[in-house]
Amino acid sequence: MHSRRRAFTVVEMVVVLILMGITLVILYQIFFAIMFRENIVAKRAEGQMSVRTLLVRLRLELKRAIAVVHISKQNQLIQIPLADNSRKIDDLDHFYFMEYEYMPEQHSIVKRQLDHDKKVVSEQLWLGGDNQIERFKCYDTGENERILFQYYRVIVEVDHYEMKMKDAVKPTGADAEAKEAVRLTTTVYPRRVNMELRIEVPQEGGSGS
């Protein structure tokens, strides 16, 4: 008996190719969606870490402040006087300043290191990109509070926009303004400044004639 061999017909081959194509498209879409979500999560985590690192850095530097910090430009610039303990006191480079300024156009913060004459030594862009800084404000204890309560306080507030999973396409028009900003706040009492801060309180009256 001769064995009957049956080959694939053209129609069967076309059906198989179509099914394989549909399967590959589905697998590609699943893979692309997973990679896209991982990319968004990584960017969001990187932005959150950058903001928190900034606040930690500011907190540590404010605690090391050797004098009252300078805040200007609508409370969007803070200048912290510091001392390099690895250098001698008579060394001009012993004293320096760290400055942080918010740039509204770039939605980012510029970090500068200044020398004792407040000349820029180094400058770099600290934050930006997808996790944009929407607001950066600094406040300090006013002179009246220093006299009444005898302490010095600095408050730093940072609002930043976190990318959401649904932001596959960046919103435009009215929806572009509907961003959910996350606010982080840190309050620091510079210890060294508190210990060395001396305020002369004027006394009423005096010796009469």
Q: Average the pLDDT over 150-166 and give the result.
A: 77
Residue 8 lies in a domain: no
Q: Tally Cβ neighbours within 10 Å of residue 52.
A: 14
Domain that holds residue 71: 33-196
Answer whether residue 195 shows pLDDT above 50: yes
Answer whether residue 128 shows pLDDT above 90: no
Q: Average the pLDDT over 163-182 and give the result.
A: 51
Residue 54 lies in a domain: yes
Residue 20 lies in a domain: no
Residue 23 lies in a domain: no
Q: Which two tokens stand for residue 113?
A: 């290191």
Q: What's the CA gap between 17 and 25, in Å, rounded?
A: 12
The beta-strand segments (E) located in 73-169 are 77-83, 95-103, 108-114, 120-125, 133-140, 154-161
* Mode of pairing for the β-strands spanning 77-83 and 181-188: unpaired
- Per the model's pLDDT, the better-predicted residue between 169 and 62 turns out to be 62
Q: Which two tokens stand for residue 35?
A: 């990679």
Q: How high is the pLDDT of residue 165? A: 39
Q: Which percentage of the chain shows pLDDT scores above 70?
A: 77
**Contacts of residue 66, Cβ cutoff 8 Å, sequence gap at least 6:** 81, 82, 83, 95, 192, 193, 196
Residue 18 lies in a domain: no
Contact 80, 98 (CB under 8 A): yes
User: What is the rounded (10 degree) CA torsion for 36, 41, 47, 48?
Assistant: 170
Residue 84 lies in a domain: yes
**DSSP H or E run through 184:** strand 181-188
- Per the model's pLDDT, the better-predicted residue between 115 and 3 turns out to be 115
Residue 182 lies in a domain: yes
- Per the model's pLDDT, the better-predicted residue between 109 and 107 turns out to be 109
- What is the value of pTM for the model shown? 0.69
User: Over the stretch 11-54, which tens digit does the pLDDT of each residue have?
Assistant: 888 888 899 999 999 998 888 888 877 776 776 677 678 888 88
Residue 208 lies in a domain: no
Give the chain's domain count.
1
